[in-house]
Amino acid sequence: MANGDRVCLGQIGAAHGLRGEVRLRSFTADPAAIASYGPLESEDGRIFEIKTMRPAKDHFVATFSGVADRNAAERLVNIKLYVPRERLPRPVEPDEYYHADLIGLVVVDRTGKKLGTVMAVHNFGAGDLIEVLPDAGGRTELLPFNEANVPMVDVAAGKIVVESPADNTDEQN
């Protein structure tokens, strides 16, 4: 299955306790909904079925079928969990989209000048960031993915509009 044919719904964290429990971060709009999409798949094709799940502070504590002890749980740390795209509901509102829809979009400034391409969407706990590969080459850049920095997303047109740092500085002064 190609990467564009599936969407990442969560990620397994550290082992929790001795009986095969793990921390589970959900990336779904309703975090508890991760359990309702059926079997989840890792990047290497392994299938994971959520057996139990309970809320914790900023994650869930979950068990997966076939994972019975801490040693097995520790081997799952950082595994990303995916479902086939067709299992997800279609976005209803015009400004709704999946993070996977952003990857590959052209990044332009307000004047339409092409700046780069979206390579990934990350969230390290303080909000979403888009990773942009600049057209001029060099290292990728991380930009906050919020309305102030990304005022327009047009998935159908294949582009997003970003505010350049110079524009943001002018507005703050």
Interval 51-81: pLDDT, tens = 999 999 889 999 999 999 999 999 999 999 9
Domain co-membership, 9 together with 53: yes
Q: Is residue 171 part of a domain?
A: no
134 with 153: CB under 8 angstroms? no
DSSP 8-state class, residue 165: H
Q: Report the percent of the chain where pLDDT is more than 90.
A: 65
Residues in the chain: 173
Check which CATH number belongs to the domain holding 24 and give it.
2.40.30.60
Q: What is the pTM of this model?
A: 0.70
Predicted pLDDT at 73: 97
Domain co-membership, 74 together with 113: no
Indicate the residue among 87, 111, 136 that finishes a domain: 87
User: What is the domain extent for residue 113?
Assistant: 99-166
Q: How many domains does the chain have?
A: 2
Interval 113-136: pLDDT, tens = 999 999 998 877 778 899 999 988
The answer, yes or no, to whether residue 173 has pLDDT greater than 70, is no
The two three-digit tokens of residue 14, written as one number: 């550290």
Mean pLDDT of 3-13: 85
Domain co-membership, 112 together with 146: yes
